[in-house]
Amino acid sequence: MSTAKANGFKWAGRGLLVVYTLFVGFPIYWTLNTAFKPLGQIGTFPPTLYPKGFQLDAFVWVLSNSRAIDAILNSLIIASGTTILSVILGSLAGYAFSRFSWVDPGGHVSFWLLSTRMFPPVAVVLPIFFIYGRLGLQDTLIGLILLYLTFNLPLTTWLMRDFFDKIPASFEEAAFVDGYSRFQTFRKVVFPLVRPGLVATMMLAWVFAWNEFLFAWIITGNNTSTYTTIIPTLIESNQIQWNNIMAMATLVATPPTLILIAFRDNIIEGMTLGMTDI
């Protein structure tokens, strides 16, 4: 291949990356642009590409509104609670599936677990609504944590099983020779080796619970509203408060973004752990 042709492919690739960056980045920019605009500038035509004078009124409204703050805190509690339970139980179940063949002969049980993520959640909304009503779990934090756990646990179990499969059994055999019990081997030998995969699994579980809308809309009430159920209600005098919506969207997008930046190396390593040998 000639040098000119190689340079042409290189610049074409860079051009595609620029287009992709603009495609992905423009919604983020427009969210910030709208959040800093007063409401009167949002509905103008043609739209302005930048606010005429930055205003923080929308952010002040979100941070001073007790209903919005409570909703964000509820989302944080629910997402963190269900993630912790999902990772603990999913790690133990994944280890059992990986190391004990009698637990999952033929791989049918683990596939059945994963298949629960394949059907549309809306199919079970009504049964869950009535069941939660009978059990008194509607409009409770623990109710939503347990509900999200039922959807996160199959995914965390499946992922952690694959991560444990990549750990050579000889590592555990050596620990047994040194006098470690099965649990000590799991905690001190195997678990640290799958930490990157654990972080990646935690992120997936946490983001699902953080962003979930359908079940939160059906199950929660005034006491345990999440931020996803608050945003659609930001309408005053038949006018949608787009600046407040975008300000709240910016604030709630900050935690997962910071977590992703802080643990990006672990997440990348965890995502590739299933494709590389240790």
- The pLDDT tens digits of the residues spanning 127-143 come to 999 999 899 888 889 99
pTM: 0.81
103 band by pLDDT with thresholds 50, 70 and 90: low
The two three-digit tokens of residue 16, written as one number: 């595609």
For 168-183, b/e burial (b = at least 16 CB within 10 A) is eeeebeebeeeebeee
Contacts of 92 (CB under 8 A, 6+ apart): none
Fold category of 63-273 in CATH: MetI-like fold (1.10.3720)
| pLDDT number for residue 270 | 62
- Nearest by Cα to 83 from 218, 260, 207: 207
Q: Mean pLDDT, the chain, as a whole number?
A: 82
pLDDT tens digit string along 20-36?
998 988 888 888 888 88
**Euclidean distance between CA atoms 39 and 234, whole angstroms:** 13
